[in-house]
Structure 1
Amino acid sequence: GARRDDAIAALERFVEQEKLQFILDGASSSNYYALGPIIKEKHPKALVIAAGGYDPGTVKGIPNFFRSTFDISDLFELEIRWLRQKGVRRLAVLIDKNHADAILYVEKLLPPAGFEIVADERYTSGQADFVPILTKLRGMSFDALIWHGFEPDHVNIIKQARTVGLLPPKGQAPNYIWLSQSLAEPDFGGPLMGGDVSFYEGLYVDLFGTAADLPNATPRIRYLRDAYKKKFPDSVYVSWVSTGYDSVYILVRALQKAGTVDDVPKVIDALHKLTIWDVPELTFNYPPGLIFDREGQAHPIITMGLWENNSFRYITSTWEDARHVHDPVKI
């Protein structure tokens, strides 16, 4: 989960006390947002691979900080393309005021793309009462509402939106597009809502990876999901398992390719040269070729789904012609 202080304390202990050179970070966005500046300013010699995405305000330009899951700019491009296809022009946005990349999206990317921002509402992560903001939005006219933030804030937002009438009662779809950048897919969103997924009915969600129960999921991600849920039936963090799993094997294969376990610059060079075929254990769908770009960012596909009749349906993705590069193997 998102525990920034714990993540910072762990990083300091790993580097300062235990003298570790290679560190795998968790997948929580707010964690690696907090770690990025510290890695850049204090620990330039330690290599960190984060199972989290790309935030231009905090992690760009750090040569020893690699991100193995989605690039937030890929997600923005997917949303812009799809919203245009749906004929959307007038947008309301609801974003976490500390979400640097969401602010960039709203202020610098959406207006030039031809969208009119009719409402720009911002809140503080962990805020409990969203009723004033949601009531204000209820009285406005727009084609789509976009929410970008961190979970579990989306639980309070959706429940309160249903209560104040911005969304219809649970189990019913709105007459406009509600699009969330959230982990509100079955394996994570369901438990957060106490198992009552009717709260999500009619809402679009775009994911940092591929939900295991979607048709474009790789066989291996399904296998890993099922194995994890069998061993940890009460955990809601199954959505993060694949990113962490991929990061482990990406580092292992980079160490093998570099031929060293203590020369960080050589391992960094190996990571930049690593291809998807060098890491047959990958669970996510990655485009063919290099895993990381020049900024140390990976680009696995991002999927958009729709909650419909209490199930999650595939809508589109950043790589519509995705092919399963890796065959399923036992883990």
Structure 2
Amino acid sequence: MSLGTFKFTTALVALALGATASLAKDRTLDIGVTDALTGGAAVYGLPQANAVQMAAEEINAAGGIKVGDDVYKLNVIAYDDKANPTEASNAVRKLIDRDGVKYILGFCCSGATGAVASFISNEDAVMLVGNAAERSITTQGIENLVRTRPPADYTGAAAGKFVAGKGHKRVAVLGALEVGFYASYVDAFEAELNAAGGEIITKELFALKDRDMTPQLTKIRGMEPDAILVVGYVEPAAFVYRQAVELGIDVPRYGFTSGSEEQFLRVATSEQMEGVWDLRPTELTLLSATENGIAYHENYSEKFGISPSPSSPYAYDQTYALKDALEAAGTVEDTEAVAAALRDLPVPDEVVMQYLPVDGKMFDSNGQAYTSNGAFQWQDGHWVFVEDLPSDAAAYSEFLSTLD
């Protein structure tokens, strides 16, 4: 796959709907993707872009999107934003101003997503956010924006309860704490840990490009924690897990990272990963997947020659949500009507993630969707779903509505 800007063009499928559909016109609808296709964040962004491409091809092969008397086949135009706010803003401007795109998907990372969210309300467009987890993205009252992944602190509180329930009282944190959504995860985690009588004994930082964590881990080892919490992108987190073993730190390791087995095994061995927990939304993992999730994993693996990342279906689900909203609104031109239809949408049958509807709808009044939260553990070379974490979508939605 070429780097930088690239374009996914899905094959047009001949329409054969019989005499009753003879008046329908076969049209093309361009949709945009902006995501991290290169660089460190590509572990999240490239799988999301792939997922949109695959969903679009599935929708086209099934007959397209029926809007009024017309049937639309999707054409996906994707740009690499490198998880950079300026690059993301420029990519969206190109999609809207040059390519005439009204529906923009992807958005794996919060910094880039926040930059686009700051101006998208002024555009004749709809923004569908995937993996980016910064809470403020859906607290600003942006009517033409929805997000499939829940905010980080929604999961952090559940993780804190889980770790406290394991009896841990002295937890050391190591992570990308200068990144807002990781910090909010830890804040919510800490509040629940403190409520149960535990404490965070230190908060050590790493940058997203750091690879040698031995100074921080050596300090942590000397403080004798009874558990470690790691928050950050897949690659630096994998180095932490590996180097903790190399330094002889023999305490439970918990994380908030997401990432597939293949992504972690590029850095650490399976033996070094053994027993690590990942406390995150219940994303795609075969042993926790629905029938849709298992089919998604198989189809993605066959198409792209690699297993999908656990968070990639956020973008796949966006595409099907957009399809249903366009059909419900009966228009591709009126973005306000389509945005309203998204807010009124039940969970589509085709989605992969396990959403918790609020008032029967996929997205709440903030444009926010919620999944269940899960505890996953590395066992014998695989992420294994162990149990659900406490998740009260309705209560969190009410809380989110109080913020601005």
Q: TM-score, normalised by structure 2?
A: 0.68
Pairwise mapping of residues 32-43 of structure 1 onto structure 2 (< 5 A)?
32-41=110-119
Q: Which of 244, 252, 259 in structure 2 is aligned with 1:161?
A: 244
Q: Which amino acid aligns with 1:165?
A: G
Relative to structure 1, the CA distance from residue 4 to residue 83 in structure 2 (aligned partners, 3 Å threshold; closer, same or farther) is same
1:81 paired to 2:164: no
Q: Which amino acid aligns with 1:212?
A: T
Alpha-carbon separation, structure 2, partners of 1:53 and 1:35: 7
Q: Which of 347, 363, 375 in structure 2 is aligned with 1:304?
A: 375
Deviation at 1:11, TM superposition (A): 1.7
Deviation at 1:252, TM superposition (A): 0.8
Aligned residues: 303
Q: Which of 10, 17, 20 in structure 1 is aligned with 2:101?
A: 20
**Structure 2 contact 297–308 (Cα < 8 Å) conserved:** no
1:281 paired to 2:350: yes
Residue 122 of structure 2: aligned partner? 44
Alpha-carbon separation, structure 2, partners of 1:73 and 1:106: 8
Residue 293 of structure 2: aligned partner? 221
Identity %: 23
**Structure 1 contact 54–297 (Cα < 8 Å) conserved:** no
Deviation at 1:242, TM superposition (A): 2.1
Q: Which amino acid aligns with 1:232?
A: F
**Structure 2 contact 300–308 (Cα < 8 Å) conserved:** no
Relative to structure 1, the CA distance from residue 34 to residue 60 in structure 2 (aligned partners, 3 Å threshold; closer, same or farther) is farther
1:11 paired to 2:92: yes
Deviation at 1:305, TM superposition (A): 1.3
- SS of the residue aligned with 2:135? coil
Q: Which amino acid aligns with 1:207?
A: R
Residue 320 of structure 2: aligned partner? 249
Residue 398 of structure 2: aligned partner? none
Residue 104 of structure 1: aligned partner? 184
Deviation at 1:145, TM superposition (A): 1.2
Alpha-carbon separation, structure 1, partners of 2:345 and 2:120: 27
Pairwise mapping of residues 191-270 of structure 1 onto structure 2 (< 5 A)?
192-193=266-267, 196-214=269-287, 216-233=288-305, 235=306, 237-270=308-341
- SS of the residue aligned with 1:207? strand
Residue 25 of structure 2: aligned partner? none
Alpha-carbon separation, structure 2, partners of 1:132 and 1:113: 26
Relative to structure 1, the CA distance from residue 7 to residue 162 in structure 2 (aligned partners, 3 Å threshold; closer, same or farther) is farther
Alpha-carbon separation, structure 1, partners of 2:192 and 2:150: 23
Deviation at 1:108, TM superposition (A): 6.0
Q: TM-score, normalised by structure 1?
A: 0.82
**Structure 2 contact 153–187 (Cα < 8 Å) conserved:** no
Alpha-carbon separation, structure 1, partners of 2:174 and 2:364: 30
Alpha-carbon separation, structure 2, partners of 1:112 and 1:182: 19
Deviation at 1:136, TM superposition (A): 0.8
Alpha-carbon separation, structure 2, partners of 1:306 and 1:212: 11
Alpha-carbon separation, structure 2, partners of 1:245 and 1:292: 16
**Structure 2 contact 261–381 (Cα < 8 Å) conserved:** no
Residue 149 of structure 1: aligned partner? 232
Deviation at 1:310, TM superposition (A): 3.1
Relative to structure 1, the CA distance from residue 130 to residue 109 in structure 2 (aligned partners, 3 Å threshold; closer, same or farther) is closer
Alpha-carbon separation, structure 2, partners of 1:119 and 1:135: 12
**Structure 2 contact 374–388 (Cα < 8 Å) conserved:** yes
List per-residue Cα deviations over 1:249-272 (Å, max 9, x = no partner). 101101111121121221121111
Residue 324 of structure 1: aligned partner? none
Alpha-carbon separation, structure 1, partners of 2:129 and 2:210: 26
Alpha-carbon separation, structure 2, partners of 1:109 and 1:302: 13
More strand by share: 2
List per-residue Cα deviations over 1:146-191 (Å, max 9, x = no partner). 111112211222222222333xxxxxxx3x321111124435434x
Q: Which amino acid aligns with 1:287?
A: L
**Structure 2 contact 255–279 (Cα < 8 Å) conserved:** yes
Runs (5+) with no aligned partner, structure 2: 1-35, 42-81, 392-404
Alpha-carbon separation, structure 2, partners of 1:256 and 1:187: 38
1:60 paired to 2:139: yes
Alpha-carbon separation, structure 1, partners of 2:136 and 2:161: 23
Deviation at 1:92, TM superposition (A): 0.9
Alpha-carbon separation, structure 2, partners of 1:212 and 1:132: 33
- SS of the residue aligned with 1:152? helix
Alpha-carbon separation, structure 1, partners of 2:193 and 2:222: 25
Residue 291 of structure 1: aligned partner? 362
**Structure 1 contact 53–68 (Cα < 8 Å) conserved:** no
Deviation at 1:47, TM superposition (A): 1.2
Q: Which amino acid aligns with 2:135?
A: P
Q: Which of 192, 197, 200 in structure 2 is aligned with 1:117?
A: 200
